[in-house]
Amino acid sequence: MQKSVIVENLSKNYFKKEAVKEISFTINENEILGLLGPNGCGKTTTIAMMLGLLKPSNGRVVIHGLDIEKNRISLLHKMNFISPYIELPKKLSVKENLIVYGKLYGVKFISERIKYLSEKLRLEEFINKKTGELSSGQKNRVSLAKALINEPSILFLDEPTASLDPETGDFVRSFIEKISKEKKMSILLASHNMDEVKRLCRNVLMMNNGVIIDKGTPDELIKKHGKRNLEEVFLKLNRNNHELK
Amino acid sequence: MSLNRIIGLFLRHFFLIKSSLPRILDLIYWPTIQIILWGFISKFFTAYSDYYNNTVGVILTCAILYDFLFRSSISFNMLFLEEIWSRNFTNLFIAPMRISEIITALVGTALIRTLIGLVPAILITSPLFGISILKLGIPLFFLFLSLYIFGITLGLFVSSGLLRYGPAFENIAWSSLFLLAPLGCIYYPIEILPDFFQNVARGLPLVYIFEEARSILVNQVVNYSNIKNAFILNAIYLFVGVSLFYYSFSQARKKGSLINIGE
């Protein structure tokens, strides 16, 4: 299977603090890789380095065979990102926001793309509404539409269903599942929802204190640690790590 | 009325101010600048009350020119701040945009914003005060262009600070131009400044731009050497501004300020 993303010995130091310590992993084409870990464990820092937002202290990120540090602009055309901590301008309508990002990503047929995403993500009823007036579920779908506007081959999802009601959360999960298969995307999913990770991800990385403390398929990890589900594995690994510290 | 609740709310603001040096400096800054600026203006009018035959015309024309500079710089900063306030900053920097594209887009948008604000102001000065800034003639274009370049350059300096230090740098965005107002010699000739400040002021294009405006309005003499000096200084500052913006972006990528700048 072709490797879309290769992360090699990636590290980030802020002054004397090591936020990420020599982590390595790969994401295959058409794979959703889960990234699990407690708050402040280095997930966002890792994603930021993969997106070229943050310069690594050591190591490198290779995407489609190219180093992100040397080919940031050309690679960003093929990537996108969604996070509940980043918003779209509230005073712009949904359609205006999508037009802006369509332009920024150099999308050729913006109207057709917006129409397609509106149908798939059920945006039609509020496409002309101001983004700031939407419910959190609607905003989430708009952010997802923005993240898909450029038909990325690599997608970074940071807690994509945080603060969503179960119905909307399920809709978003189903959509991610479907689109990743259809478009053969490589997705890095950072989440605190273990059921979501188990449902969507083929492989999982467990991160703590800036290092990958375990990895495998959800079933492998559950079996290896003798637990009933991924949440128990997560708790065990993090408590062990806490005690070790 | 509960004294405790009143004290509670007072403390909420007191704690905020005492823990923030930029806030304290901001409180001191404005009155100081106002006093310095108006002190120089008063000194000038006391010493040379017969300098201007057409005081209102000269003062208003200089005010319009200064406002053009102010609007162009603030517009540039505002475009940047809007992205921070709307927490859209990270989205912009993960889009495949080159720094040169960001600067060009902001320069163009800032011009439109500035003109929207300024054109009505220019139009109403004629019926209200019988003054037309167009009396400056063709050199007016060069003066506006020079002011616009300097405004954009200041915008680049401030935006570089915002990139590197985030919203904490916001107060500087608002106050940067007022710091230059006394030294820019907008309403009075450079000779009114103390010797030391005259030397500093000669390093600013503003002195030459406003000197030229006064030269045309008061003496009806066009002195292109002022315009040339302003453009030379503008070119140097613009080069430094653009370089600083690139440097700040690189530093922001190292320090991680692009990730959580809106938070």
ipTM of this complex prediction, to 2 decimal places: 0.86
- Residues A69, A157, single domain; the answer is yes
Residue A245: is its pLDDT beyond 60? no
- Residues A159, A232, single domain; the answer is yes
Question: Measured between alpha carbons, how far is B34 from B178 in angstroms, rounded to an integer?
Answer: 8
- Residues A15, A128, single domain; the answer is no
> CA angle B158-B164-B165, nearest 5°?
85
What the block records as the tokens of A83 is 């996070």
Last residue of a domain, one of A111, A134, A151: A151
> Kind and range of the H or E element at A91?
none
Question: Measured between alpha carbons, how far is B211 from B91 in angstroms, rounded to an integer?
Answer: 44
Is residue B12 assigned to a domain? no
Which range of residues forms the domain containing residue A113? Answer: 87-151
Give the pLDDT score at B263: 41
Last residue of a domain, one of A133, A151, A169: A151
Residues of chain B with pLDDT under 70: 30-31, 34, 48-56, 173, 260-263
- Residues A67, A157, single domain; the answer is yes
3-state secondary structure B81-129: HHHHHCCCHHHHHCCCCCHHHHHHHHHHHHHHHHHHHHHHHHHHHHHHH
- Residues A111, A134, single domain; the answer is yes
- The tens digit of pLDDT for each residue in B64-114 reads 888 888 888 888 888 888 888 888 888 989 999 999 999 999 899 888 888
Residue A151: is its pLDDT beyond 90? yes
- Residues A139, A200, single domain; the answer is no
Is residue B209 assigned to a domain? yes
Give the pLDDT score at A242: 61
Is residue B3 assigned to a domain? no
**Partner A contacted by B87 (CB < 8 A):** yes
Task: Tell which A residues from 75 to 134 touch B, by Cβ distance under 8 Å.
Answer: 76-77, 79-81, 83, 85-91, 101, 104-106
Give the pLDDT score at B54: 63
Is residue B197 assigned to a domain? yes
* B91·A77 Cβ contact <8 A: no
Which range of residues forms the domain containing residue B163? Answer: 21-255
Identify from A14, A46, A47, A53 which residue to disrupt to test chain B contact, counting B C-beta atoms within 10 A and taking the largest count. Answer: A53
* Number of domains within chain B: 1
- The tens digit of pLDDT for each residue in A161-175 reads 887 888 888 998 999
What predicted TM-score, i.e. pTM, was given to this entire model? 0.84
* B87·A87 Cβ contact <8 A: yes
- Residues A31, A130, single domain; the answer is no
- Residues A105, A219, single domain; the answer is no
Closest in A53, A76, A79 to B258, CB measured = A53
- The tens digit of pLDDT for each residue in A92-144 reads 999 999 999 999 999 999 999 999 999 999 999 999 999 999 998 899 999 99
Is residue B224 assigned to a domain? yes
